[in-house]
């Protein structure tokens, strides 16, 4: 018994000695461990507003869904969102919104299609309802707070390459850069976006798409008419409520994108300097006439190369002519030298022979 007690005392003493040893400072660029994340949630004041905002938004989501009859969905969405917040699941927020959408359409979790068409005015009258406004506001606040928290504890900026290279560290947002007024702006912008969305939804349902109209293909819909919700055959140019909403949203997106493109394009042109404007004009001119310019440049290069080839050929022919003339001169000089040698040899042979020649009989 005493031996086991002394062994335990030695083990505790060794553990205390290891705890007292100075630890090497951890690189601040290294990813945080799960324990460090929980300590960061509890102790850091910069992340506390976002954490409270996310938890409050989840509480409102749970309350709205529970009061709407979707108790299973409220528990499932809340638990999944809490796990995403606690364990830093970066792919969790989109799935949270997907689960929220599913349980909003099917509160009991089972896809009962018959209940979707019980009230034909359900979609048209779903604007500016308190439950929907609070639900969308809570979901938007949760998403914005969740991604702000991811930027503080996980990663704020993507890596330079598509795949993470060895030695790359995730870039987190420093807590010193968090402004105390950010949470107020976050809430205000979220509320403004919800109001704008509700107004646009009311406007889409208040309009009717009529392509056969002589004046304008869009007009105000009759709020008391059931013709848009009638099933069966329709008159040419008459659409039901869903198709009318689709065409109106499609047209609004097209013309809205065109308007935004024109506004920002003009604003960009207004803020350009002279050098930037000259660069844009040069690039535009090249984009419009690069085929002709490239063809002319090819012709010019071809003409230059042909002239160079002609000069090279003329120089080669001149060298060959001079070489042949030099060879001919060399042959002529060699021939003359040989003739002179033969003549000198004959002359020398004639001077050496002093004997009188015999007269021929």
Query: In this structure, are residues 220 and 229 in contact, taking their beta carbons and an 8 Å threshold?
Result: no
The top-scoring range by mean pLDDT among 104-108, 163-167, 353-357 is 104-108
State residue 136's pLDDT score: 92
Q: Is residue 332 part of a domain?
A: yes
Distance between CA 80 and CA 221 in Å, rounded? 41
pLDDT at 110 over 90: no
154 and 111 in a common domain: yes
The model's pLDDT over 267-289, given as tens digits with 9 standing for 90+, comes to 988 888 889 889 988 998 888 88
Say if residue 296's pLDDT is above 80. yes
Please choose, from the candidates 209, 220, 291, the residue with its C-alpha nearest in 3D space to the C-alpha of residue 252.
Answer: 209
342 confidence band (pLDDT: 50, 70, 90) = confident
87-97 average pLDDT score: 92
The answer to whether residue 5 is domain-embedded is no
pLDDT tens digits, 32-51: 888 888 888 888 888 999 99
Do 133 and 163 lie in a common domain?
A: yes
Supply the range of the domain harboring residue 262. 218-270
Same domain, 200 and 64: yes
Tokens of 300: 């010019």
Q: What share of the chain is helix, strand, coil (3-state, %, to 5)?
A: 70, 0, 30
Q: What pLDDT score was predicted for residue 361? A: 43
Q: Note whether residue 47 is domain-resident.
A: yes
Q: What is the pLDDT of residue 235?
A: 64
DSSP class of 227: G
The verdict on 188 and 324 lying in the same domain is no
Q: Is it the case that residue 96 has pLDDT exceeding 90?
A: yes
For residues 235 and 148, membership in a common domain is answered with no
Residue 103 shares a structural domain with residue 173: yes
Predicted local distance difference test score (pLDDT) of residue 7 = 58
Does some domain include residue 354?
Answer: no
* Same domain? 254 vs 143: no
The reported pTM is: 0.66
Same domain, 203 and 228: no
Q: Looking at the domain assignment, is residue 281 inside a domain? A: no
Place 346 in a pLDDT band, splitting at 50, 70 and 90.
confident
Tell me the average pLDDT across 129-137: 90
| Same domain? 117 vs 247 | no
User: What's the CA dihedral at 28, 30, 35, 38 to 10 degrees?
Assistant: 60
% of residues, the chain, pLDDT over 70? 81
39 and 154, same structural domain? Answer: yes
Number of domains composing the chain: 3
Assess whether 264 and 336 both reside in one domain.
Answer: no
Residue whose pair of structure tokens reads 């230059």 in the numeric block: 304
| Residues 242 and 102 both lie in one domain | no
Q: Is residue 359 part of a domain?
A: no
Q: Return d(Cα 14, Cα 248) in angstroms, integer.
A: 74
Domain end, chosen from 207, 227, 247, is at: 207
């Amino acid at each position: 018994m005493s031996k086991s007690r002394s062994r335990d005392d030695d083990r505790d003493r060794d553990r205390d000695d290891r705890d007292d040893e100075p630890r090497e400072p951890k690189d601040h660029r290294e990813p945080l461990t799960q324990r460090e994340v929980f300590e960061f949630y509890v102790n850091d004041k910069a992340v506390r507003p976002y954490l409270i905002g996310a938890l409050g938004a989840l509480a409102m989501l749970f309350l709205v869904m529970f009061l709407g009859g979707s108790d299973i969905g409220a528990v499932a969405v809340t638990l999944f969102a809490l796990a995403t917040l606690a364990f830093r699941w970066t792919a969790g927020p989109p799935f949270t919104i997907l689960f929220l959408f599913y349980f909003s359409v099917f509160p009991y979790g089972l896809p009962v299609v018959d209940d979707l068409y019980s009230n034909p005015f359900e979609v048209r009258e779903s604007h500016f309802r308190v439950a929907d406004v609070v639900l969308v506001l809570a979901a938007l606040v949760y998403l914005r707070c969740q991604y702000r928290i991811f930027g503080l504890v996980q990663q704020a900026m993507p890596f330079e390459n598509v795949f993470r290279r060895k030695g790359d560290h995730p870039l987190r947002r420093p807590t010193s850069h968090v402004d105390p007024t950010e949470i107020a702006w976050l809430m205000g912008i979220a509320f403004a976006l919800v109001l704008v969305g509700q107004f646009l939804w009311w406007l889409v349902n208040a309009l009717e798409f009529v392509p056969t109209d002589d004046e304008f293909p869009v007009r105000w819909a009759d709020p008391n008419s059931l013709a848009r919700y009638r099933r069966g055959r329709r008159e040419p140019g008459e659409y039901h409520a869903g198709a009318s909403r689709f065409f109106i949203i499609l047209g609004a997106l097209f013309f809205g994108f065109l308007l935004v493109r024109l506004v920002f394009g003009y604003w960009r042109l207004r803020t350009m300097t002279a050098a930037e404007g000259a660069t844009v004009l040069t690039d535009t001119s090249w984009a419009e006439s690069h085929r002709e310019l490239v063809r002319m440049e090819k012709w010019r290069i071809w003409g230059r190369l042909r002239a160079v080839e002609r000069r090279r050929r003329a120089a080669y022919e001149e060298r060959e002519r001079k070489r042949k003339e030099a060879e001919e001169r060399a042959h002529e000089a060699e021939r003359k030298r040989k003739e002179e040698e033969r003549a000198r040899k004959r002359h020398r042979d004639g001077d050496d022979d002093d004997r009188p020649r015999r007269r021929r009989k």
